[in-house]
Amino acid sequence: MPYSTKVNKELHFKLIGYIIISSIIVIFTIMGILNGVMKSQVKNNMFYIQVLNYTLPVVKDLAYDESDMAESQMNIKTAILDYIGMDIFNPLTILSKESSYFAVSRKYVKPEVKNQFSLNSFKLEDISIFREEKKEGELKPEGKVDNKVDIYNPSIKKNLNESKPEVLIYHTHTTEYYAPATGKSAFDENLSVVAVGRELSKELQQNYGISVIHDRTIHNSAYNNSYTRSGETLDKYLKKYNNDFKIIIDLHRDSGPAKKDVTYKINGQDAAKLMFVLSKSSKYIKDNEALTNNLKGFLDKEFSGLTKETKDYNHGKGNFNQSRHPNVVLIEVGADVNKIEEALVSAKIIARAVAEQINGKR
């Protein structure tokens, strides 16, 4: 066999071997990333959909309602960063990749000490809704403005008429939960947005005489088409009560933001910030927007800094169900990094705004 032929065959086999080994590495890397993403109940679906959006755009229009994914901050970049152990909101995870000192020190830090290195250093200790007086010589945490505001307004309370509900509260993503819940406890209503809806309902009925229906149907057992299922629930109530609701609230919580960006301090305690979401393609957009602006306008005036900028969407097949009634609003109460106690404080504030909107105009 000529020497040149022998060399060519050896190179050929080496090339094939290189391709096979490289393919195996790539396959195992992708499997590792997907496996890491699959550990999260909600992120799992979103990762695949993000991949499909980049590779097969037609899927976005035919296979799912993109409004289901509107609130999520999940994307391929964050999935890969999560897989390799990097958190863009915690610089130590990045430094640990560059210096063994940070990697070792983080490994042996006790949980309560580790929190001191986090960007979200404030810990809620007291969940009382009453105003707390600042102790003499006590300093406010840096960057925190403690708003001293009366949440409850007894002057607008009226007699409760339970036969005529004025407010409907429901949850498209019923199992969205707060700390300290985990994926395994997502169906615990005491730690999810259901608890926030329950607190809001109680406040409206007991303190303001406003009759409420709070629907706790789970619409996101499969995340895709959650709005289709919650729309069917909404239609049921609209038909039963002849569309006669003054305010219909789809109550959610966000995911992705850093703790400091979704936390509001009031009367010595933490609350979860609020964000309204609008579909610009709703046939009732003028009415939806007017109601949203009224509620947000009151909150901005009385509880400055509590609400984030309204999130507008020009797409979404279901219009977040806002095309079903002029008085529909979508409110996101904090995010997954908020404690349930913080979200419950916010529920009391939402109740005040809703009561001012309904009773204050009598």
Write down which residue in 84, 114, 133 finishes a domain: 84
Do 76 and 159 have their domain in common?
no
Query: Can you tell me whether residue 52 is helix, strand or coil?
Result: helix
Higher pLDDT, 61 or 251: 251
Find the mean pLDDT for residues 202-211.
98
Q: Which residues of 7-27 are buried (b: 16+ CB within 10 A; e: fewer)?
A: eeeeeeeeeeeeeeeeeeeee
pLDDT of the residue at 308: 97
pLDDT on residue 148 = 81
Confidence of residue 39 (pLDDT cuts 50, 70, 90): very low
Confidence (pLDDT) at 1: 57
Judgement on whether residues 209 and 75 belong to the same structural domain of the protein: no
Is residue 247 a contact partner of residue 357, using CB atoms and an 8 Å limit?
yes
Q: Residue range 187-191: average pLDDT?
A: 89
pLDDT band at 84 (very low <50, low <70, confident <90, very high): low
High-pLDDT (> 90) share of the chain, %: 50
Give the model's pLDDT for residue 162: 92
Mean pLDDT on 147-168: 93
Residues spanned by the domain of 297? 154-358
Q: What is the mean pLDDT of residues 171-197?
A: 88
Report whether pLDDT(35) > 90.
no
- 252: domain CATH number is 3.40.630.40
Among 41, 68, 84, give the residue marking a domain's end: 84
| pLDDT tens per residue across span 96-115 | 444 444 444 433 333 333 33
Of 207-211, 315-319, 339-343, 348-352, the poorest mean pLDDT is in 315-319
pLDDT classification of 222: cutoffs 50, 70, 90: confident
Token look-up 């969940």 returns 127
pLDDT at 209 over 60: yes
User: In sequence order, what are the beta bridge partners of 311?
Assistant: 277
In a domain, 133, yes or no: no
Mean pLDDT of the chain: 76
For the cut 70, the answer to whether the pLDDT of residue 224 exceeds it is yes
Tokens 């406003």 belong to 210
pLDDT attached to residue 44: 45
What pLDDT, on a 0 to 100 scale, did the predictor assign at position 56? Answer: 42
Model confidence at 314: pLDDT above 90: no
Q: What is the mean pLDDT of residues 249-271?
A: 94
Q: Average pLDDT of 41-67?
A: 44
Which of 37, 65, 84 terminates a domain? The answer is 84
Name 184's Cβ contacts closer than 8 Å, sequence gap at least 6.
none
> CA–CA separation, 167 vs 354, rounded Å?
9
Instruction: Specify whether 300 is located in the same domain as 215.
Output: yes
Q: Residue 216 domain-assigned?
A: yes
Residues 72 and 169 in one domain: no
Average pLDDT over residues 130-143: 37
Q: Residue 81 — pLDDT band, cuts 50, 70, 90?
A: low
State whether 34 and 167 are in the same domain. Answer: no
SS3 312: strand
Is pLDDT of 330 > 90? Answer: yes
| Confidence (pLDDT) at 67 | 61
Q: Which residue has the higher pLDDT, 215 or 103?
A: 215
Q: How many CA atoms lie within 13 A of 344 on its CB side?
A: 19
One-letter amino acid at 225 equals N
Flag whether pLDDT at 303 surpasses 80. yes
Q: pLDDT at residue 7 above 60? A: no
Say whether both 76 and 181 belong to one domain: no
User: pLDDT band at residue 15, thresholds of 50, 70 and 90?
Assistant: confident
Whether 165 and 309 map to the same domain: the answer is: yes
- Together in a domain, 72 and 160: no
- pLDDT of 329 higher than 80: yes
pLDDT of 355 higher than 60: yes
Q: Does residue 180 have a pLDDT over 60? A: yes
Q: What's the pLDDT score for residue 11?
A: 65
Q: Is the pLDDT of residue 188 over 80?
A: yes
CA 178 to chain centre: 9
User: Is 283 among the domain residues?
Assistant: yes
Predicted local distance difference test score (pLDDT) of residue 315: 65
> Measured at the alpha carbon of residue 244, what is the angle toward residues 238 and 248, in degrees to the nearest 5?
70
In a domain, 149, yes or no: no
d(CA 160, CA 176): 30
DSSP-derived 3-state class of residue 305: coil
Residue with tokens 């977040």: 320
Domain total for the chain?
2
pLDDT of residue 65: 54
Residue 203 has pLDDT above 60, yes or no: yes
